[in-house]
Structure 1
Amino acid sequence: MLDERSVGSLAGTVEEIIRHAAAAEIMPRFRKLAADQVAEKRGPHDLVTIADRSAEEYLSAALTDILPGSVVVGEEAVHADPGVYDALRGDVAVWIIDPIDGTRPFVQGEAGFCTLVALAHRGEVLASWTYAPALGEMATAIRGRGARLNGTPLQSGSPTPGATLEVATSHPDYTTPEQKRSLLRLKVDGMNTRPCAGSAGLEYVAIARGDLDATAFCWENAWDHAAGLLLVTEAGGAQTTVSGRPFRIEGGNELPLAAARDADTAARVRKLLAGV
């Protein structure tokens, strides 16, 4: 049975596995990718590289080995077989993996990418790891036991009263007309919005450390959000979908999804997105 103690006993080993995957499969290819090592999945803005595939293969094998009976829902595995996603609705422990969150920055030789891993059971995210190897940052969270960045406790804090809120959003090019209308409601006095820099995981780290006030995202792939949302909430922040319900990793959420440094900010962003 998975509980705080058993998850905590795995945490250090998981971190070592993630660091090894990055050192062996990702960083040797950083700024050294050949043209034939990059491919499009659903279009020119949705890329996959040999590093994505190799890292996910390594992580999948290593993580299921340390937790017998567990399964993997990884971005590249789901792309190959969408039915893999159904494991999030089952009864077994699930490793949720995004081998390179921010593949576009990775391909462009920018440091703003990370590896995301979360451990979930019966729809609840129990632990998460966000590793940005080019930045030398490892953010971790265990449900009920707080969040850390490079071993130091994280506290998101609250925005300064009266200060302009900084909010990262989905890029308008990747949203439906209805979602565009929701995001446009954030363009009010006291709120400054900008598109996500390329890695949702690193935007969540920015919230957890108090460098960003909120996010508003319009897609629900579990591998992009599971790790970061736990990190934010364990750092003292909050998250909600536009319906007012918490984000569900198994899907079926009413979007956009908001995360913020504190509950009041999350509620303010949600109300604007909902137009209430």
Structure 2
Amino acid sequence: MIEDNETIDEFLARHTDDVAEAVRKAAAQEIMPRWRRLAEHEVDQKSGPHDLVTDADRKAEQYLTEVLGALLPGSVVVGEEAVHANPATYEAVRGPDPVWIVDPVDGTRQFVHGDAGFCTLVALARHGTLLASWTYAPVTDRLATAIRGRGAHLDGERLWAGPPQPGRELSVATSHPDFTTDEQKRSLLGLRTPGVAPRPCGSAGLEYLAVARGELDATAFSWEAAWDHAAGLLLVEEAGGTHLTRTGEPFRITGGNELPFTAARDAATAHRVVGLLAGEEAGEET
């Protein structure tokens, strides 16, 4: 049983590569054999036509639940598909035990359509604090990792987002309109201003990776599900970026955030995006 964060640090020093191997195996065994080969009976809708689940999601999550739980005795797993089946299991994100937060196929719509823009996300947290994350893009076989206080890496190379180039448009990936309330839509309209180039987001995990790599300036997301955000938020933090809600506070994976929120390459960009979401003067940085 894990007793304290020092013990978890020791676990990560020994087993970071084991987690990466588990993520790769889940993709190799359960996801990639079904990519572009899905039968009609292997795809279901959850809340609507844009909220899909496949046999790849379910089986990859089952595999990761078994392996990750065995790797870290005393931990619990919060997976997207398990929470859909039993929403009460989400409470473990707020509990005292180490928790694995798993999105087996982030970007299921892209996966179903045969596109390459999907990934597998795993994060480890305790007491609401993100400790480690793994973002794996199976089609390109690229793995990004982040360990709190030890940096972010992509295939072993250190990531550093850095500030955007002065004077050019900010690129911002925004929530899909099907997953926003009317109030959130009005808030996101604040990004439609000179000097900002918003676009609909794809896989959240890959958008966070783009921010950490300095290829995307910021995100503006309007939902809280921890499995979509946990891995990427730590990746951005450890690459030198930051995240803020509309109240100017960091995003909490335990919930209760003022939405939409942003993750950005640097603090100035995050404050600028938050100001625009809050309806402040366009183009002003705080």
TM-score range, shorter chain: over 0.9
Are positions 1:2 and 2:5 aligned together? yes
Equivalent position of 2:284 in the other structure: none
Equivalent position of 2:233 in the other structure: 229
CA shift for structure 1 position 173: 2.6
Which amino acid in the other structure matches residue 184 of structure 2? Answer: Q
CA shift for structure 1 position 252: 1.0
Are positions 1:65 and 2:70 aligned together? yes
2:151 and 2:113 mapped to 1: Cα distance? 34
Which amino acid in the other structure matches residue 186 of structure 1? Answer: L
SS of the residue aligned with 2:191? coil
Equivalent position of 1:273 in the other structure: 277
CA shift for structure 1 position 2: 2.9
Equivalent position of 2:29 in the other structure: 24
SS of the residue aligned with 1:269? helix
Which aligned pairs between 1:96-107 and structure 2 lie closer than 5 A?
96-107=101-112
CA shift for structure 1 position 9: 2.1
Are positions 1:154 and 2:159 aligned together? yes
Are positions 1:47 and 2:52 aligned together? yes
Identical residues among aligned pairs (%): 64
TM-score (norm 2): 0.95
Deviations 1:162-213 (A, max 9, x none): 111100000223211110111000111110000002x000000000001000
Equivalent position of 1:85 in the other structure: 90
SS of the residue aligned with 2:5? coil
Equivalent position of 2:256 in the other structure: 252
Unaligned runs of 5+ in 1: none
Are positions 1:263 and 2:267 aligned together? yes
Equivalent position of 2:206 in the other structure: 202
CA shift for structure 1 position 215: 0.3
Equivalent position of 2:192 in the other structure: 187
Instruction: Select which of 132, 136, 139 maps to 2:144.
Output: 139
SS of the residue aligned with 1:184? helix
Deviations 1:56-86 (A, max 9, x none): 0000000000100100110000000000010
Are positions 1:218 and 2:216 aligned together? no
2:254 and 2:184 mapped to 1: Cα distance? 21
CA shift for structure 1 position 8: 2.8
Q: 1:156–1:207: 8 Å Cα contact kept in structure 2?
A: yes
Are positions 1:114 and 2:119 aligned together? yes
Which amino acid in the other structure matches residue 241 of structure 2? Answer: G
CA shift for structure 1 position 103: 0.4
CA shift for structure 1 position 159: 0.3
1:2 and 1:64 mapped to 2: Cα distance? 17
CA shift for structure 1 position 5: 3.6
TM-score (norm 1): 0.98
Deviations 1:205-253 (A, max 9, x none): 0000010000000000000000000000100011011111111111111
Q: 1:8–1:142: 8 Å Cα contact kept in structure 2?
A: no
CA shift for structure 1 position 274: 1.2
1:60 and 1:233 mapped to 2: Cα distance? 26
SS of the residue aligned with 1:185? helix
Q: 1:7–1:126: 8 Å Cα contact kept in structure 2?
A: no
Are positions 1:126 and 2:131 aligned together? yes
1:37 and 1:173 mapped to 2: Cα distance? 23
1:248 and 1:210 mapped to 2: Cα distance? 23
SS of the residue aligned with 1:212? coil
CA shift for structure 1 position 89: 1.1
